[in-house]
Amino acid sequence: MNHYCTYFDRELLAQGLALWRSLAKSDVDSVLWVLALDEFTADVLREVGGTWLRVVPLTEVEAGDAELAAAKVNRTRVEYFFALSPCWPRWLLEKHGMRSGIERITSVEAEMFFFASPTRIFEAMDAAKASVLVTAQRLPLWLKRSERHGKFNVGLLSFQNDGVGRACLDEWRGRCLGRCHDGQEAGKYADQKYLDEWPERVGAALLVLPNAGVNLAPWNWAGVEITAETGGADAAKGGLRLEGEPLVIFHFARFRPIYGDWWWQSGQLDYGVMPRRLRRRIYSPYGRALLAARDELAARRAGFDFTRRPVRRAREFGRSWLLRLVFGGGWLRVGDEFFNLRGGLGRWSGQCLEKLRAIFLRT
């Protein structure tokens, strides 16, 4: 049995429920542990229930981790959430590892969605005799500058419940509790840049998963060879191959409706807007899943809806107005499809933005 963990509050509740539904379908006997960051989220998820959905309120974790609770007063809300990234799986292994038979804990972000069985992830980890698993950012050439935020992505991590896995979590926890700034400073970035040190610290017990179909994301899809399935059941379901591997998990960072259910923030402007043929296979199923999750939650709590605001700092959103005018990035939803309305021009937004930064910011 595979154990996963994530954390979110009301703002990402629909995304979290969509994650759970996709996981329950793709890894039938798995357990998802959710750290509920507010009472509303905890109460609703308890009602959703299910044998394998385990809900833990934040107050319970804070009561058992005095250093984490103390961190609330010396950082912003977002920086406190960053500190939860190592503290939450560490707490699970410590409190429930033996009791619940957690041999390995896999951390996933709430904005992820499973398209296929994750079995190959754990097969690779077992074959390598790895105690810790990470995924590389896999950035295309024009985005290599973004590796200053970290060579590995914090969206999906897996830790064996052994000495090496727990030690890695303990070390990461100490670093994040010490400093977890929401921005780049002195070679650090949030909870993620610390992962750059793991190849040296963890050594042969670390597996950098080479599977391009795991943790595909807005910032790395353009650097991967993507083809459609040509035969079998996967073709009938509209499956994709990424450098020969099936799409397992996509990371839908920043994707959400802004106005009604018809205008959505794609979260792709900074990197390059995905062409329609791929949006249809990746974003259309997820859009349906999000709307179904929202409707399920609204049936339990009248008036529940998405948090409808751009996931950007206001200053950044203002600066990007010309790019949005030229390349799009906001998507019109018609039926199950999302339209960028720029005739394919949006694909070049990331490369254009990087060239402008190189010219004017000299970075």
pLDDT in tens, 199-255: 999 999 999 999 999 999 999 999 899 998 765 544 335 589 999 999 999 999 999
pLDDT score of 288: 97
Q: Are residues 221 and 262 in the same domain?
A: no
Q: Are residues 220 and 287 in the same domain?
A: no
Q: Are residues 248 and 116 in the same domain?
A: yes
Between vectors from CA 147 to CA 155 and to CA 71, what angle results, nearest 5°?
55
Residue 215 φ/ψ region, left for φ over 0, alpha for ψ in the -120 to 50 degree band, beta for the rest: left
Q: Is the pLDDT of residue 314 over 70?
A: no
pLDDT score of 342: 87
Domain total for the chain?
2
Task: Give tens-digit pLDDT for 160-177.
Answer: 999 999 999 999 999 999
Q: Are residues 9 and 115 in the same domain?
A: yes
Q: What is the CATH number of the domain that holds 157?
A: 3.90.550.10
Q: Are residues 298 and 239 in the same domain?
A: no
Q: Are residues 37 and 92 in the same domain?
A: yes
Between vectors from CA 335 to CA 332 and to CA 337, what angle results, nearest 5°?
55
Q: Are residues 90 and 175 in the same domain?
A: yes
Other CB atoms within 10 Å distance of the CB of residue 155: 21
Domain boundary among 196, 222, 253: 253
On whether the CB atoms of residues 33 and 58 are closer than 8 A, the answer is no
Among 152, 162, 99, 154, smallest CA distance to 130 is for 162
Domain boundary among 208, 229, 253: 253
- Please, how many CA atoms are within 13 Å of residue 198, restricted to the half-sphere of its CB? 34
Q: Is the pTM above the cut of 0.85?
A: yes
pLDDT score of 322: 75
Q: Are residues 40 and 123 in the same domain?
A: yes
Q: Is the pLDDT of residue 159 over 90?
A: yes
Q: Are residues 290 and 306 in the same domain?
A: yes
Q: Are residues 201 and 280 in the same domain?
A: no
- Cα–Cα distance, 331 to 89 (Å, whole number): 35
The percentage of residues in the chain with a pLDDT greater than 90, rounded to a whole number, is: 72
Q: Are residues 248 and 262 in the same domain?
A: no
Helices (H), the chain: 13-26, 39-48, 58-63, 66-71, 77-96, 119-127, 163-178, 198-202, 232-236, 276-300, 314-319, 321-327, 349-360
Q: Are residues 170 and 301 in the same domain?
A: no
Domain boundary among 224, 253, 282: 253
Structural tokens at position 218? 């807005």
Could you list the residue range(s) of the whole structural domain that residue 267 is in? Answer: 258-363
Sign (positive/negative) of CA torsion 84, 88, 89, 93?
Answer: positive
